[in-house]
Amino acid sequence: MAYATLLLKGTDIGAITNEKGEFSFPSLLPGSYRFIVSAVGYVPLETPEYLLRTKDVSITIELEESIEQLAEVVVSANPYDHLAKNPISVHAIGIQEIEKSPGANRDISKIIQAYPGVSYSAVGYRNDLMVRGGGPSENKFYLDGIEIPSINHFSTQGATGGVSGIINADLLRDVQFYSADFPANAGNAVSSVLQFNLKDGTVDGTNYKGTLGASEVSFVTSGHFSEKSTYICSVRRSYLQFLFKLLDLPFLPTYSDAQFKWKHRFNSKNELTLLGLVGIDDLKINDDASSERAQYTIGYIPEIQQQAFTIGAKYKFYAPHSIRSVIASYSFLNNKSEKYKDNNREQADLLRLKYSSQERKAQLRIENKTTLRNWTLMYGGEANYFSYDMESKQQLFFDTTPVMQIYATDLSYLNWGTYFSLLYATPQNKINVSFALRADACSYNSYMRNPLHQLSPRFKFSYLINRHVTASVNMGIYNQRPPATALGFKDNAGVYLNKDLQQMRVMQVAGGLSYHTDKGLELKGEIFHKRYSKALYTVKDQIPLNCLGDQYGIVGNEQLLSTAMGRTYGVELMAKYIIPQKMNMTASLTLYKSEFRLNESAPYIPSSWDNQFLLHANATYYMARNWSIGAKWQCIGASPYTPYDLEKSSLVLAWNTNQQPYFDYSAFNTSRRDIYNQLDLRLDKSYYWKKYMVGFYLDIQNLFKNKYSQPQVPISTGVVANPQAPIAAQIYEMKYLEDDAGSMIPTIGVTVEF
């Protein structure tokens, strides 16, 4: 594109493209930069952040045709990618924020925790995301438009959380986080959608980067095969088990992952992208753990092995006024868990859990986006083939006796959907109005086979009050299928017990104001209300399935019903302040309620994610001589918990079944923990030479060693209190174990780039 105008954000430095669309900004110092781009007949754009380190950075910027032909181009240093059509419920996360966020170790799940409406589990060193009172199974993830099932290692099957992020931040360009107003092409999500956009490979030369941290070592390379073909890829290997061993934790996780992206531009109108993501996980018991708390956990936690990968292709054709895309992908998960009583594998009768499953998903999506004057139309369709193979042996305690539950599943089903969205925007985006409709169907049963039962209409309206203030409202209905673990569940006779399940439905309404200035300040205020229907709850324990998922193992592999209901509502406030090359600050406050009930006649009870308030503050300051310092403070309200059933837990047969106490689900979530807060710090120093960069960082999580209060855990002493009684009536003498969690975790890392 010839004669486009570019401005380096935060400066008065500009450039104009030549007749080939090429541009350059010579003699820039290392750092992160954004560009503000304008051209006659195209929508002005602010780019994501680009990191300039040891070599020139070659980037490609795509502009969208404007709804009106501009008579002149006016470039102003608006500090945000602020679009009136997405002013609230959507957050753009830049690479600078990902690189330097304290306590996150460049793990995107931990970075998102600083945004409004996002709660997290402070126990178990996990990455679960609970957005606006929803559960950790309600999120959806896309990598350059290609769906990926999970973004974490050691993911909980049936949910999305895990121990550590699987996406290497070195490959990320930016992240779009939606807490509402989901795009019509993103189905099967009811709480959040995360879209990860990857960098392209370099078109001149080859770059290398190596990182050595306290928990992992990684290597990244970026380059090209020709002028039209680029690549970027990474491999990582953790040694997290050494850190966990040092902390005397009961389990030792090890993981490896690899990622790649290859992009080929055939010409100015056609391009093809291939990408892949693979993770290999192995969680073993720490036999050397000495603390009483660790020994208790060793008694019940299984050893886990997981292998997961996604491979996908995206073909894009740029036609006049439209972009056409064809996306194909295949995902696979192999999940194995095994547990013996006292971890004694020599005796077959001590087997407590042996689980092996494979999930496969093949997807094809075809989409078109057309812009004509004031209108933008997007429409498309997708088809998915799922298969779920599983064998399970698990000892459970029912009423008065232990039962070995044994079943196998070989399940396959189809899911398909269509969608469209229509956006109307007045000149200068003064008013934006859009309507979208999505319909999904699933071959699993007759109810879900009818797409009219899973219609998802969506509407949003934005009004630009003045140059700095936008008022917006959005509303929509979103549907989510039960997980494969639930659809494939059988009893010991081989009968599917969940054949009548329906898709969960969530209706959400949100509205608010967005204020931004040319000096780098952005303020957002938003109210939201979510209403759940046809949600799943467990027949055995009579609790909502949404309240599970932040633990290791499997969720949903039990008999369920689709009659639970729920509601979450609240207000979110957020402030973001960016001074290029100087400071990056984000602060947010959320006040909310999250409640569920089993049916219309039952009372509402707090969900497991009803923290009532969330407070986050995160800031990084860039100093002279390539030093930076950052701090993050998090405070979450008192989360609900369920007390233990001491009578049942003390039964000899019950304790020997699972080696852990049982909850009193008749008093589900009737107690609350204390408020918890945590302070993280990070210090960075970088050295630059002509073609090399060496960086050092010190990251300290939970600087003040704050403890997350947990109820005391009743555990067996191993002494039978009434040995003369029948075995079914025998009970153990019990004692209580303190279960407060929280340690200071320092991390020292080195990065080399050339």
Q: How confident is the model at residue 52 (pLDDT cuts 50, 70, 90)?
A: confident
β-bridge mates for residue 317, sequence order: 270, 324
The verdict on residue 43 lying in a domain is: yes
Mean pLDDT, the chain, integer: 90
CA distances from 385 to 95, 188, 485, 547, 692 (A): 35, 14, 16, 28, 47
The verdict on residue 37 lying in a domain is: yes
Residue 108 and residue 69 share a domain: no
pLDDT score at 8: 86
The verdict on residue 609 lying in a domain is: yes
Indicate which CATH number applies to the domain containing 40: 2.60.40.1120
Indicate which CATH number applies to the domain containing 739: 2.40.170.20
The verdict on residue 553 lying in a domain is: yes
Residue 252 and residue 129 share a domain: yes
Residue 64 and residue 96 share a domain: no
Percent of the chain surpassing pLDDT 90? 64
pLDDT score at 739: 79
Highest-pLDDT range among 58-67, 290-299, 657-666:
657-666
Residue 241 and residue 215 share a domain: yes
Answer whether 531's CB lies under 8 Å from 567's CB. Answer: yes
Answer whether 4's CB lies under 8 Å from 16's CB. Answer: yes
User: Which tens digit of pLDDT belongs to each residue from 694-734?
Assistant: 999 999 999 999 988 888 999 999 999 999 999 999 999 99
Q: How confident is the model at residue 587 (pLDDT cuts 50, 70, 90)?
A: very high
User: Which tens digit of pLDDT belongs to each residue from 159-216?
Assistant: 888 878 899 988 998 899 999 999 999 999 999 999 999 999 988 889 999 998 767 8
pLDDT score at 82: 42
User: Which tens digit of pLDDT belongs to each residue from 392-437?
Assistant: 999 999 878 899 999 999 999 999 999 999 999 987 788 999 999 9
Average the pLDDT over 261-289 and give the result: 93
Which residues contact residue 182 at a Cβ distance below 8 angstroms, ignoring those fewer than 6 apart?
140, 189, 193, 458, 476, 478
Q: Is the pLDDT of residue 288 over 90?
A: no
pLDDT score at 743: 81
CA distances from 78 to 25, 39, 47, 331, 727 (A): 19, 16, 11, 40, 74
The verdict on residue 84 lying in a domain is: no
Q: Is the pLDDT of residue 683 over 60?
A: yes
Q: Which domain, by its residues, includes 505? A: 90-753
- Which of residues 16, 48, 77 is at a domain's end? 77
Q: Is the pLDDT of residue 133 over 90?
A: yes
How far apart CA 753 and CA 54 sit, in angstroms, is 7
Torsion angle of the four alpha carbons 285, 289, 293, 295, in this order, in degrees rounded to the nearest 10: 60
Residue 97 and residue 50 share a domain: no
Residue 175 and residue 38 share a domain: no
**Both tokens assigned to 330:** 């295949």
The verdict on residue 85 lying in a domain is: no
How far apart CA 325 and CA 652 sit, in angstroms, is 61
The verdict on residue 689 lying in a domain is: yes
Residue 430 and residue 368 share a domain: yes
Domain count of the fold of the chain: 2
Residue 432 and residue 486 share a domain: yes
pLDDT score at 268: 86
Q: How confident is the model at residue 13 (pLDDT cuts 50, 70, 90)?
A: confident
Answer whether 1's CB lies under 8 Å from 40's CB. Answer: no
Average the pLDDT over 364-388 and give the result: 95
The verdict on residue 279 lying in a domain is: yes
Neighbours of 496 (CB within 10 A): 17
Answer whether 212's CB lies under 8 Å from 219's CB. Answer: no
- Which of residues 77, 99, 132 is at a domain's end? 77
Residue 308 and residue 163 share a domain: yes
More confident residue, 517 or 75: 517
Q: Is the pLDDT of residue 70 over 60?
A: no
Residue 117 and residue 30 share a domain: no
pLDDT score at 311: 98
pLDDT score at 495: 95
- Which of residues 77, 108, 123 is at a domain's end? 77
Q: Is the pLDDT of residue 71 over 50?
A: no
Residue 163 and residue 31 share a domain: no
Q: How confident is the model at residue 580 (pLDDT cuts 50, 70, 90)?
A: confident
Residue 369 and residue 417 share a domain: yes
Give the containing element (helix H, strand E) for 432.
Answer: strand 431-442
How far apart CA 580 and CA 519 sit, in angstroms, is 10
Q: What DSSP string runs through 228-280?
A: TEEEEEEEEEE-HHHHHHHTT-SEEEEEEEEEEEEEEE-SSSEEEEEEEEEEE
Long-range CB contacts for residues 416-419, cutoff 8 Å, separation at least 24: 416/381, 416/382, 416/383, 416/384, 416/440, 416/441, 417/187, 417/381, 417/382, 417/441, 417/451, 418/379, 418/380, 418/381, 418/382, 418/451, 419/184, 419/185, 419/187, 419/378, 419/379, 419/380, 419/381
Q: How confident is the model at residue 79 (pLDDT cuts 50, 70, 90)?
A: very low
Q: What DSSP string runs through 332-374?
A: EEEEEEEEEGGG-TT-GGGEEEEEEEEEEEEEEEEEEEEEETT
Average the pLDDT over 728-753 and give the result: 89
Answer whether 522's CB lies under 8 Å from 585's CB. Answer: no
Answer whether 42's CB lies under 8 Å from 17's CB. Answer: no
Average the pLDDT over 364-389 and give the result: 95
pLDDT score at 124: 58
